[in-house]
Amino acid sequence: MPGITTKDEFNKHIKKVLIDEKAVQEAIARAGAEISREYEGKPLLLVSILKGSFVFLADLCRAITLPCEMDFMIAKSYYNSTESSGDVKILMDLEHDISEYHVIIVEDIVDTGQTLSKLIPMLKERNPLSVKVVTLLDKPSRRTAAFDPDMSLFTIPDLFVIGYGLDCGEYYRNLPYIAEYNTEEGVCSDV
C-alpha cells in the first residue's frame, strides 16, 4: 500500500547527502575499470542481490568493458531475539548454472555481514570458477559476522542510509545519491 504521496513528506526524511551523485559515478567508473582489467578473457557473471543492488548493478555493468552476463537473486536474513546470527533463505534463485563462471556478487551495503557470510558458502557449493563480492557501501562498525567484501566503494559510519537503490519502506531507491535518513521525522517500517 502506498505510504508517501507528497514531495514534502518524501523530502523531510532526507537528512543530508552523504555521497553525492558525482562521487558515486566516479567510484563506479574506477571499479568498472578494475574489474575489466582483472576479468579479461574470463567468463563473467554479475549477480545482483535484489532489491537494493539493482541501481548499482545497472551503472556498474555499463562501466565494465568486457562481455558479461547478469543474474538476480533474492536472499533474506531471518533473526530471532535470542540469536545474534540468523538464517538466510533464498527467496528467488539464480537462473544460471554458475559452475562455468567467475561470479561477482553485486551488493548495495554490507552491514552486519550475516547475509553474505551465509550466502557465499551456499553459492560455493555450486562450484563456480571463483566468487568475489563488490559492495557499494560498507559499514564495518556494525559487523557481527566474519565477512569482508573483496571490493568496497565507500566505507560509511553507523547511519541508516537511503538512495541509489537503498530503501526505507520501499521509497527512496530512486535518489541518485546516498543520503542519511532522518529518523526524527519517523522511522520507516523496515528499520
The residue (of 153 and 166) whose beta carbon lies closer to ligand 5GP is 166
Residues facing residue 107 across a β-bridge: 135
C-alpha cell belonging to residue 13 = 526524511
Q: Are 172 and 162 in contact (CB under 8 A)?
A: yes
Instruction: For 10-73, give the DSSP string.
Output: HHTTEEEEEE-HHHHHHHHHHHHHHHHHHTTTS-EEEEEEETTTHHHHHHHHHH--S--EEEEE
> What distance in Å separates the CA atoms of residue 13 and residue 186, rounded to the nearest whole number?
8
- Determine whether 111 is an active site residue: yes
134's CB contacts (< 8 A; 6+ apart) are: 31, 35, 60, 104, 105, 106, 107, 149, 150, 151, 152, 153
The residue (of 35 and 161) whose beta carbon lies closer to ligand 5GP is 161
- Min separation Cβ 65 and ligand 5GP, Å: 27
**Residue ranges binding ligand 5GP (CB under 6 A):** 52, 77, 108-115, 160-162, 166-168
The residue (of 42 and 76) whose beta carbon lies closer to ligand 5GP is 76
- Min separation Cβ 6 and ligand 5GP, Å: 21
Describe the strand order of the beta sheet including 14-19 as a list of residue ranges. Answer: 14-19, 178-181, 161-162
Active-site option among 111, 138, 167, 190: 111
- Min separation Cβ 37 and ligand 5GP, Å: 27
| CA-to-CA dists, residue 168 to 4, 10, 161, angstroms | 11, 11, 9
- Min separation Cβ 170 and ligand 5GP, Å: 10
The residue (of 129 and 173) whose beta carbon lies closer to ligand 5GP is 173
- Min separation Cβ 61 and ligand 5GP, Å: 18
The residue (of 39 and 179) whose beta carbon lies closer to ligand 5GP is 179
Query: Catalytic residues, which ones?
Result: 111
